[in-house]
Amino acid sequence: MMTAPVISKRVVQTAAARGLSIAGVAHENGVSAASLYEFTEARTAFPRPKLRKAIANFLDIDEIEVTEQLIADARALGREVKQVVRTCPKCGQKKIYALSQYLTTDADLKEYSPTLCIDCYTAKLKAKNEPKTCHNCGNELERTPSWIRQNKSGLFFCDGDCWNAWRRERRRFPRAPNTKYKGGGRRKAKVLSLIEEPSDRVIAERAGVSVGTIMSVRKGRRISPLRRYRIARVDGTAGGWPPLAQVFLESCIEQAYTPGGLARRAGCWYGSVTRIIEFGSCDKLTLERLAPVMGRSVEELEAMLPAGRFTSPRQLASVIFRNGRVKDPDKILSKVLQRHPQADANALRRYLQSLLARSRGRGAALSYTNEQKGETLQLLDQGWGIVKIGRKMGFPLSFDKRGHANNCPTVRRIIRRNGPTRT
């Protein structure tokens, strides 16, 4: 005669001792009464995990002991059991393992599966892991050897959030046209160098400009000097700017002025500011006007001027012509030759004449000098006529239909700019 299962018998006895029915026991432990009835009537030899846990709680026994006894009861009834309890040789803990369609017996499980429990086996695998650092947040990580072998970039991250946060701040690089390309060689080195650079959005936020400005720079378009300097500060190339230009542009950024706005506030000509930005040099009058606006002394700004400023004779002539009120080529030429005695006087004179012609507008040629102007005004005060003055000074005259001289445009121009009209 087949004996009744031990666990089911203990459940019935404990319920009777407590004055509970099988349905009351099921309700108290949160399981189905029908499943508990089937177990107690030996129709189910090995219950499901939820029912096993409820029985262990009801009998106040460890779940492993209940499982071992259930396995023994099932085998005594001639039932097939797909669970087995094994003891870990390292920590001594007992664990429940399930047999599969390939490992049908306990001997097969011992031969083809690890003898350690899942905790010890996981600790054994983790011992082979190598320490790595997250490329975004800097946290310490552990990665398996297979993960490291499959990683071709050498970058490691905590999770997808760290990867996305790091990727948003880096430049995007073009993908290979061949979808089978797996990276390596020169392209891998190029990709690794590109992904270390910040993205255009990050550069724009740090520099205080728009993303369109960064794209214009990459396309080779011209942008304002202040925006170029803002980007240079972020790129670390601001050291290549002249010292005076750096101080001037920093003042523009601090005071929220454009270079032209700061020049108007100081009462300077915008051309002098342009020369400060491009060459880092200017005349003393400009420094005296800019010093109080920039909050610096004149001596401090003069110390930032280059030692060999205006080294080129042509550059010096251009600066004197554009900054000063002197427009006479001979006087400008004499000043340039005082500093550069070996300069070509004829070439400088032609250059100054071209500057004067361009300053007067298209088609307006150099017509008279300051000496000629002064002599013309003296003759006018003496009562000379326009045609007579033109003949004496050698200016071109205009003639009527009969061929008689009736006007001198050069004398007319001198009178219009310097005094009342005399006839």
pTM: 0.38
Looking at CATH, the fold of the domain delimited by 6-124 is given as 434 Repressor (Amino-terminal Domain) (1.10.260)
87 phi/psi in degrees, rounded to 5: -105, 130
pLDDT at position 167? 73
420 phi/psi in degrees, rounded to 5: -70, 160
pLDDT at position 421? 44
pLDDT exceeds cutoff 80 at 420: no
pLDDT exceeds cutoff 50 at 239: yes
Strands 398-399 and 405-407 come out as: antiparallel
Q: In the chain, where are the structural domains located?
A: 6-124, 130-195, 310-366, 370-418
The position carrying tokens 């299962």 is 5
Q: How confident is the model at residue 154 (pLDDT cuts 50, 70, 90)?
A: confident
**130 forms bridges with which residues in the sheet?**
143
Nearest to 226 by CA among 250, 204, 210: 250
| pLDDT above 90 coverage of the chain, percent | 1
pLDDT exceeds cutoff 80 at 340: no
Q: What is the pLDDT of residues 173-231, one digit of tens each?
A: 444 444 344 555 666 666 666 666 777 788 888 888 888 888 888 888 888 888 989 98
- Classify residue 170 by its DSSP letter: B
Residue 97 and residue 115 in contact, taking contact as beta carbons nearer than 8 Å? no
Nearest to 247 by CA among 231, 235, 229, 265: 229
- Judged on CB neighbours under 10 Å (0-12, 13-18, 19+), 181 is exposed
Residue 64 and residue 94 in contact, taking contact as beta carbons nearer than 8 Å? yes
CA distance 294 to 297: 9
Question: Which two three-digit tokens encode residue 281?
Answer: 């040099």
